[in-house]
Structure 1
């Protein structure tokens, strides 16, 4: 299916993260990183028009020495943004890193509300690579390379003890009762605490003093390995995971295979797969190979009808979330692999960004996302015609 899409080139602004504050307000995070490249690290807010035009609304330049915002999430009703920004190297060397930050979008401007340090590795190269809000907006996960913290939002008070993993963390997704951590090796399914504000400091009414919150470990419910249909003989790595926004018994993952190494043979291409999981049984209901290059980013539309992914072959594509039928593909969306993908709240726009200093705004056609019903009706009509033909033969 042909879709209308418009590229926008942003001078000296490599894009690494994105999110929508409203159906038309898009936040981008990017810059040159902590290295002395001369490219400023910034948060930018754009107004996106129906014609896919963009107008700069606000630009917040981060302090010198701070890192680029590599991940973010927004709370639409509150108009707030959570993102990861490492502190300057001098503070990192002293063990002080206020990496998790919350901003409010007020009167068309971003305003810093509070910060909190969540990275526990002590590695100066570690950064907040995953930032995800729960569906109700009360919990936030901020994850580094091998650790994550569950925080109350927007207070950023810890809700549970930090979780550390042996394998690298790539993504996190919430349901109403669980949080799933996608690592390179497996899916870790944790139970959420009963109360969203469990980790907030409580007050002693008699003495009028605050008591330190007693934090507990998150309960690990299960560990899920990659399906055999994807892993094959050489294995695969999870790259992203998303719960269906309206059905917590459906989880989507994307995986990249690990090519076999050989001194005598050319390495096989790295294949990419999308999987649909039944979380009641933690079995895979559907698998589709979507390319011979690794996938780099992933998103699901807020209405749950479409899956979007970006590939290291520079393309961006859409799938029907139910049937996995291809809906559209933009072969040369960027000059570098896409780093971020985000649907707007109405599922009518999709924005991809890349370190090549560009974004692409894609208008999702009205018919996209309705194809599941279309195919269902076609199949139903075909079956009815076949039954009528069979009945006619019996009475002929």
Structure 2
């Protein structure tokens, strides 16, 4: 079995020169990562980097597209939204939420063809591509990005060192939710950034929020130990998701993500929770039915968890660990573990992001059953893929069943039964 160091090299996509805290997909082939060293004069930059992903048949490759620095403001969280006409990025920069308009441009690499005979050496004809597909993997097109700061609004108002901890855009692109050190969740109209609701429920800083893809649900988790379910249209609390550990150990929820139930217009909710004080207690990945406020499944870990992601079709869940820098992938329905990458990073995982599911057979996500990106404060971007699991075709299984039945009858006839 390869060593942890070898696995890290195999999964390494890129290194940047600042700690990473947030990761988002811009297209099915472009990933944005953000972070930085903060406002202190350490010489560590703050900002974003965008990479284009590809697969050469053996491994994933990342090529840097642009780098956008944000001055003295570290990027701790961000979220993107595309309506296929416009691409927006919102990012937490200190106490404010910064809105960016992301301009895209397709560059056609000129395909050079030799024409004429050998006496006209150097005479060439150039052809340019005319198709306009943002996620195309054709070799004659490259997509570039420009980030334009557009609007900014203060989202956290703690008197001492206010900081936005999380921002999320809902699935229709009409709302964003923010939370921070003040412990207040605010819901804003998007992209106008008009304040709609102020949800005052947490007594300590908010760690995470997420919107349901179907119901009018918003969930928020904070360091006060509460996971609260909201109706975001009304700005009203629906209930609190609570569970009691058998040893009466206090647990804090760290991350929350809604997932889809296949073929049903309902959502499930995944959360990770860590013990508050005892390092001897397990941490958990939990699966909830939010409409019933019911915990249905859980998986235990012998170390604290730091990151959580759910694939956009709801089939897979990934978690990252705090101390070993490991990554796990689970089947969302059963919470059956299908991949474990120990020591994926040398430090704790700060973010996870699945490659999106597309219908394009040329998409890089089609090279494996699932693939998840991971980032860390070790400045590395890694990828971990789940190979297609081998299954027996249905027709072959039916043939085997038919043969087994025939052999059973023959054996019974032989014995005279």
Report the TM range for the smaller structure's normalisation. Answer: 0.7 to 0.9
Deviating more after overlay: 338-347 vs 157-166: 157-166
One of 63, 68, 82 as aligned partner of 1:76:
82
Does the aligned pair in 2 maintain the 1:15–1:353 contact within 8 Å? yes
Per the alignment, residue 92 of structure 1 pairs with none
Per the alignment, residue 104 of structure 2 pairs with 106
One of 174, 177, 180 as aligned partner of 1:138:
174
Offset from partner CA, 1:191-243 (integer Å, 9 cap, x none): 1226xxxxxxxxxxxxxxxxxxxxxxx21121222x22x46321211111111
Uncovered stretches (5+) of structure 1, i.e. residues with no partner: 87-96, 195-217, 261-267
Per the alignment, residue 280 of structure 1 pairs with 291
1:191 maps to 2:231: yes
Mark the structure with the bigger radius of gyration: 2
CA distance in 2, matches of 1:232, 1:305: 32
Per the alignment, residue 65 of structure 2 pairs with 57
Per the alignment, residue 43 of structure 1 pairs with 48
How far is 1:105 from its partner? 3.7
How far is 1:100 from its partner? 3.5
Does the aligned pair in 2 maintain the 1:104–1:113 contact within 8 Å? no
Does the aligned pair in 1 maintain the 2:79–2:167 contact within 8 Å? yes
- Over 3 Å counting, the alpha-carbon distance change for 1:231 and 1:157 in structure 2 is farther
1:321 maps to 2:335: no
Does the aligned pair in 2 maintain the 1:244–1:251 contact within 8 Å? yes
One of 337, 342, 345 as aligned partner of 2:348:
337
One of 286, 291, 294 as aligned partner of 2:304:
294
How far is 1:5 from its partner? 4.9
CA distance in 1, matches of 2:39, 2:149: 20
How far is 1:112 from its partner? 1.7
**Number of aligned positions between the proteins:** 336
Aligned CA-pair RMSD: 3.1
User: What SS does the corresponding residue of 2:196 show, helix, strand or coil?
Assistant: coil
How far is 1:283 from its partner? 1.4
One of 358, 361, 365 as aligned partner of 2:387:
365
Does the aligned pair in 2 maintain the 1:70–1:85 contact within 8 Å? yes
Does the aligned pair in 1 maintain the 2:202–2:226 contact within 8 Å? no
Does the aligned pair in 1 maintain the 2:36–2:45 contact within 8 Å? yes
Per the alignment, residue 155 of structure 1 pairs with 192
Per the alignment, residue 201 of structure 1 pairs with none
CA distance in 2, matches of 1:179, 1:57: 34
- Structure with the higher fraction of residues in strand conformation: 2
TM-score normalised over the length of structure 1: 0.77
User: What SS does the corresponding residue of 1:335 show, helix, strand or coil?
Assistant: coil
Uncovered stretches (5+) of structure 2, i.e. residues with no partner: 106-144, 358-364
